[in-house]
Amino acid sequence: MKKTSKALALVAAVCLLISLMAGCTVDINIEGMDLPAAETAAAAESFAQLDATHWGGGSVTITGVETDPSVDGYVDGTLFGYVSKVLYDGGEIEVDAATQYAILTVDGVQYDLFNISEPVTYTGDVVITLADKGDFANSGNAKFGDDAGSLIGNFYYTGAVYVDADGYEEASSVVAAQGGAQVDNEGASGLVFDSEGDYFGAVYINGADYTISDSVFTAFGKGGDDFTGSGSAVVVTGESNVTIDNCVFTTGGALRSAIWAGGRNGAQVDVTNTVIQSYNEEDFVPYNTEDNYATPMMQQVPFALGLTGNIRATLDCGNATITFTDSLVASNGWAVLSTDSGSGTLIATDMIAVVGEIEEAQDGADYDLTYAVSGTEYGIELGHVGDMSGYIAYCDGFTDYAYGCEWYAPDYLAIITGGSVTVGASDNNRFYGYSERTAFMSHKTSTSTLLEVTESDFDVKDNFAIVKSAGGNGETINLADSTINIYGTDAWSGSLLEVITSDDLGGGPGATTFVIPYSDYETYLSNTCTGAKGETIFNVTNCNLVGNVYDSNGSMNGTSFSDDSIRVNLVDSSIEGVISSSYAVHCDADGTAIIGDMTVDSYTREGTYDYLVIGRNLNFAAPAVCNSVSLDMTGSAWICTGLSYLASLTVDDDSVIDGDVYQDGQKLELKAGTYENVIVVPAGTDLETAVNAGVEAIETALANGVVPADCSDLVANTDTGSSGEAS
């Protein structure tokens, strides 16, 4: 419902000023507090002119605040919404904590009131705004149910600009934090927002068509819960259609996202010509002592994904849609363009997304990349493995599209679970992806079309795609008219595709320590296959590739598995490498096999392994048990570079294999047709020699392996949870 003129009483910007003129002291209060008679008229006028409460410079000392524990949702120690009285030198301000927020700004910059425990003196235009609490926020906006709650108790939205279906609501806004912007029912232009406190946002929009343009947002401090958007600079929900154009965002702190869109009503956000940089909270509470790690208030990336970090630059939840065009978005930890817990859409076109750091380009400075947005040149420093950690996109039930973009990440370009990712060319550019680990990782999903790649180019160090524990329906990866350069030379590098038993075994985002179980080669060979589970289909069209395809399902964690198989379909393409079922074992940073149950610990205590071990495997071609691989070739070529076990091989008259194919120990003269249970070796290689060498390679790796320490005492005391990102 539209707020009324109670703005005068409830949102009155209470200017606290100690005049420096002639040594006089003027105390200004409201709501039953006495004002010196000569100053009353001036104070009342400034209350009415909420966009002009810029009184002359002075200083005021805030001596403390009181809170109201009776307010529904009160969380001790997290008091943003529960300030009931502000105490200052010379007076006090009463706050209806059930319906109002007290927001402090100094020269337009927002600072926290709720954590003032000793006197603090502020100098400048000091304003305390009593803003009506707006819509109730809980994680029901995303996935976790209407009663899920929030990290910071019952959080109610407010912001410098508050907009609902009736338009701009001054009563729930903080005009003193707008920076002199032009704000009305249609849009906000020229915002200069600066928050140095926790949880406070710049713009909240629910159920409105709105444009935010030519604005600068700076926000450093905690963001309480990014499944609700609390603490994000811009929050969009409801039946909204929002344009963000020619803006610059700089945010820092755990969960202090720049843009959040969510809810169940199809919110639409179009971001154009905009620059976003988000920074980790560097001194964040370590994983192993974090009390509020499980959803809905997940404050760090689930480290079981093989990542660290605590901020997502942008987040799309529920069934919202965010589009990015001609923009630059960066985060130095966790995520850049994240989607989570819903069925919405992410569309990125002709933009750069990077795990790294950016700045306005300086003359003479050396950058990894430069990119111009709205006529301003930006210098880009890429994050590297061990220095920064994160992915570009996370696809949890969403449909993600990227056309003509450049994506750079130390870990993953995209993680997929329950959704699908499509990348390709725009009208202007091919897609380009760079990763120092794996381009695309899927875990525990059964999406029919997992990944669609056309007219794209990749430089990746370790692997192009890893599928962990394929779902019951199998997955399809389509690759066409693209190039993949796998440049790594480590023992675990070189795969175009790996299907593995999932090593994301943390049990959810609350897990800080878990064990990845080990199986030796004899155990692998003795596995029982319980039947077909799903087939990962790798369709390759008009590509010339160098790299391996391995299926190592069943190489760890038990002796009974369903068959997670791979089928490679080559059409007018070539592959140079190994295509085979395999036995796999995790390895350390030196490439040495880890031969025993190993403890992976987010805090990396003595005897444990860090997040980088997750997904880092040595593969050895081996007979299939629960991991069959098939190859179908149409007008294609395969240069076999090593021992390869295939459950099925189909070739046509126009296909060529540079290698020798054996069936039942006999070398075949290939003709068009299908051949079951074959072994392929490099041309001119003796079959027995190749098979024996393969077994010897496994035995040597395990004999020279490192035995991990027993850290079961750490795991026994670890909390677990569940989330969209690690479910």
The pLDDT assigned to 305 comes to 82
The pLDDT assigned to 629 comes to 97
CA–CA separation, 88 and 119 (whole Å): 8
Residues 6+ apart with CB under 8 A from 364: none
Q: Which residue has the higher pLDDT, 714 or 329?
A: 329
Mean local confidence (pLDDT), 349-374: 97
CA–CA separation, 429 and 119 (whole Å): 57
Q: Which residue has the higher pLDDT, 538 or 600?
A: 538
Mean local confidence (pLDDT), 131-158: 58
The pLDDT assigned to 294 comes to 45
The pLDDT assigned to 716 comes to 59
Q: Are 152 and 78 in contact (CB under 8 A)?
A: yes
509-535 tens-digit pLDDT: 566 788 899 999 999 999 888 877 678
CA–CA separation, 46 and 76 (whole Å): 35
In the predicted model, is pLDDT for residue 139 greater than 90? Answer: no
Phi, psi at 329, each rounded to 5°: -130, 130
The pLDDT assigned to 72 comes to 65
The pLDDT assigned to 10 comes to 27
In the predicted model, is pLDDT for residue 298 greater than 50? Answer: yes
Mean local confidence (pLDDT), 117-131: 89
CA–CA separation, 372 and 378 (whole Å): 6
Q: Which residue has the higher pLDDT, 263 or 352?
A: 352
Mean local confidence (pLDDT), 235-257: 96
CA–CA separation, 84 and 501 (whole Å): 54
CA–CA separation, 719 and 705 (whole Å): 31
In the predicted model, is pLDDT for residue 374 greater than 70? Answer: yes
CA–CA separation, 470 and 477 (whole Å): 12
502-515 tens-digit pLDDT: 888 765 656 678 88
CA–CA separation, 261 and 339 (whole Å): 9
Q: Which of 26, 130, 42 is nearest to 86 (CA)?
A: 130
Q: Are 395 and 417 in contact (CB under 8 A)?
A: yes
CA–CA separation, 126 and 62 (whole Å): 10
Q: Which of 564, 582, 563, 571 is nearest to 645 (CA)?
A: 582
Percentage of the chain modeled with pLDDT above 70: 82
Cis peptide before 36 (omega within 30 of 0): no
Beta bridge partners of 37: none
Mean local confidence (pLDDT), 88-111: 89
Beta bridge partners of 480: 454, 541
Longest distance between any two alpha carbons in the chain, whole Å: 107
Q: Are 539 and 510 in contact (CB under 8 A)?
A: no
Distances (CA, A) of 481 to 435, 541, 571, 636: 20, 7, 11, 14
Q: Going by DSSP bridges, is the β-strand pair 528-541/560-571 parallel, antiparallel, or unpaired?
A: parallel
**Could you tell me the pLDDT band of residue 719, with boundaries at 50, 70 and 90?**
very low
Q: Which residue has the higher pLDDT, 426 or 472?
A: 426
Q: Lowest-confidence range among 117-121, 415-419, 722-726? A: 722-726
Q: Which residue has the higher pLDDT, 201 or 8?
A: 201
Region of 70 on the Ramachandran plot (φ > 0 left; ψ -120 to 50 alpha; else beta): alpha
In the predicted model, is pLDDT for residue 354 greater than 50? Answer: yes
The pLDDT assigned to 329 comes to 98
The pLDDT assigned to 21 comes to 25
Tally Cβ neighbours within 10 Å of residue 521: 17
The pLDDT assigned to 109 comes to 96
CA–CA separation, 690 and 686 (whole Å): 6
Tally Cβ neighbours within 10 Å of residue 145: 11
Q: Which residue has the higher pLDDT, 505 or 489?
A: 489
Tokens of 725: 């990102």
655-677 tens-digit pLDDT: 999 999 999 999 999 999 999 99
151-199 tens-digit pLDDT: 344 678 889 999 999 999 999 999 999 999 999 999 999 999 999 998 8
Q: Which residue has the higher pLDDT, 557 or 84?
A: 84
Q: CA angle, 356 as apex, 493 and 142 as ends, to 5°?
A: 95
Write down the domain spans for the chain. Answer: 7-132, 134-363
28-69 tens-digit pLDDT: 222 222 222 223 223 323 333 233 233 346 788 889 888 887
